[in-house]
Structure 1
Amino acid sequence: MNAATSPQDTARGKGRRTLVLLFVLFFGAMALAGVLRFSGWQPAAHKNVGQLLQPPVDLRLQPPVLASGAPYAWKSEEKIWRILVAPPAACAEQCVTLSQGLAKVWQLFGHNADNVKILWLGTPPAPLAGTPALRALAPSPALRAALPGVDDPAGVPVYIVDPNGFVIMRHAPGTDLGGLRKDLSTLLKLK
């Protein structure tokens, strides 16, 4: 029997190949994950539907006032997320349709609905007026001006405001409100 082909050498060679294969699989998977992470790829389930604002817009400097004249506090004991709409003065049919959609979105939150409020800058349309989550805000040019892309020629954008008063996301006019619900549902899980 040849020393180069002994059973010990054959077993040793198989052991080395197995070790190298495990090394390549482990570090290859890590390298692939690193490439995907730093290239910006994310699984479809983790992508936002709305535009994430970087940096978030701080609305604490423009404290809103309710239509009744009472101040509205951004920070409260509960973690309240807000859907903010700041339509132009001449918003008619589009605002009615948007308000109907927002009322449905709020209802679909079920047991989490208490953690979501809808803020409407100005007089809200009738379909939204009966929604318990609605907070009608007095018109505020300063608050409206602080919102990015508020005067979009395509229509009325919808914003998500975090519990501390930062606008963190903008949904473009005409986007599916199911995407707004998806984004807000993800954020509600961050308790």
Structure 2
Amino acid sequence: MNDPRTDTPIPVRERNRNRGLLLLIVAVFFGSAIVAGALRFSGWRPAGMKNHGELLQPPGDLRQVVPRLVGGGEYAWNPAERTWRIVVAPPADCTDACVALSHDLDKVWRLFGHNADHVNILWVGEPPEGALRNRVWNVVEPAPEFSAQLPRVEEGGPQGAPVYVVDPNGFVILRYAPGFDPGHLRTDVARLLKLK
């Protein structure tokens, strides 16, 4: 009778092919892990994952600052409403560039569509003559404690003003230099609105 425990030898060619296939599987697995690790630690990110604004590290903290509205009253942060803010703190000599910026911000806000109700615009100080305002604009009085939490706010001038994105809790997380592309602001805030 045949003993089932006796191993029939595997031909050398088939054995080498199986070993080669196993090595190929191991190389593909570990090779992709090594490439992914190298990309991660080199700082590379896919274009769809990058923000256009400057990510502030550490973020400014406006939670304890209570902005006063120019018309009277206070602007409450109210994190439960999940409202994002776009803050503009222009210098006094910003006129034509700030009028254009107000039109751009109105356009950006309208492009949020049904999510527009979750975005407010805070304009620090009186807007220049001819600035376009919509219903979500809140004009707040300039205050040193407010401006102190906006990094490099003094870089604005006749060429424009920096713009900041503030999260629902009151942290200043993104900064856009004067003269930025409004489409970049729209893209970044639209991504943030999906984080609900």
**Alignment match, 1:51:** 54
For the pair 1:71 / 2:74, whether they are aligned, the reply is yes
Distance 1:32 1:22 in 2: 15
**Alignment match, 2:12:** 9
- The one-letter code matched in structure 1 to 2:171 is F
Structure 1 length-normalised TM:
0.92
- The one-letter code matched in structure 2 to 1:119 is L
The alpha-carbon deviation at position 145 of structure 1 amounts to: 2.8
The alpha-carbon deviation at position 51 of structure 1 amounts to: 0.2
Q: Is the contact made by 2:149 and 2:172 (CA closer than 8 Å) also made in structure 1?
A: no
The alpha-carbon deviation at position 9 of structure 1 amounts to: 2.1
The alpha-carbon deviation at position 7 of structure 1 amounts to: 5.8
Unaligned runs of 5+ in 2: 1-8
Q: Is the contact made by 1:69 and 1:138 (CA closer than 8 Å) also made in structure 2?
A: no
**Alignment match, 2:40:** 37
Greater Rg by CA = 2
- The one-letter code matched in structure 1 to 2:166 is V
Unaligned runs of 5+ in 1: 1-5
**Alignment match, 1:142:** 145
Distance 1:103 1:124 in 2: 13
SS in 2 for 1:13: helix
Q: Is the contact made by 2:98 and 2:160 (CA closer than 8 Å) also made in structure 1?
A: no
Among all aligned residue pairs of Structure 1 and Structure 2, give the percentage whose two residues are the same amino acid.
54
The alpha-carbon deviation at position 155 of structure 1 amounts to: 3.2
Distance 2:24 2:12 in 1: 18
Distance 2:188 2:154 in 1: 23
Structure 1 stretches of 4+ with a deviation exceeding 6 A read none
Match of 1:187 among 177, 184, 192: 192
Instruction: Give the RMSD, CA atoms, in angstroms.
Output: 1.5
Q: Is the contact made by 1:128 and 1:134 (CA closer than 8 Å) also made in structure 2?
A: no
Residue-pair matches, total: 185
